[in-house]
Amino acid sequence: GENVEQHPSTLSVQEGDSAVIKCTYSDSASNYFPWYKQELGKGPQLIIDIRSNVGEKKDQRIAVTLNKTAKHFSLHITETQPEDSAVYFCAASTLIGSARQLTFGSGTQLTVLP
């Protein structure tokens, strides 16, 4: 089955600096890669996603890059703010049986220091 590895598990940055979180996946058939932000006591919130026919996608301060050959994708947050502090999960959409399902990475606790 699909295996998604996420690094680092914890990340601290100064406010205004950039943060990068990296994920690798094993199933070359995976074709959809969302990123979720989860604040304490809340459900995961989709912040950006990318499909396998695209190499990069940007939404204001957030960008995602995908390297299909190397099977890795990354989340980039620029000009970080304290409210960016949360747990971030990457995921890969995998075909299991007749349905596609998400396999999540283990999460990254991002702390933005004021």
Residue 92's H or E segment, with its range, is strand 86-96
Of 37, 33, 12, 10, which Cα lies nearest the Cα of 23?
33
Q: Cβ of residue 16: shortest distance to other proteins, in angstroms?
A: 28
Please give the angle made by the CA atoms of 55, 87 and 15, to the nearest 5 degrees. Answer: 85
Which residue among 29, 46, 54, 113 contacts other proteins (CB under 8 A)? Answer: 46
Which residue among 11, 65, 74, 104 contacts other proteins (CB under 8 A)? Answer: 104
Q: Site residues (CB under 8 A) for other proteins? A: 31-32, 34, 36, 41-46, 49, 89, 93, 97, 99-102, 104-107
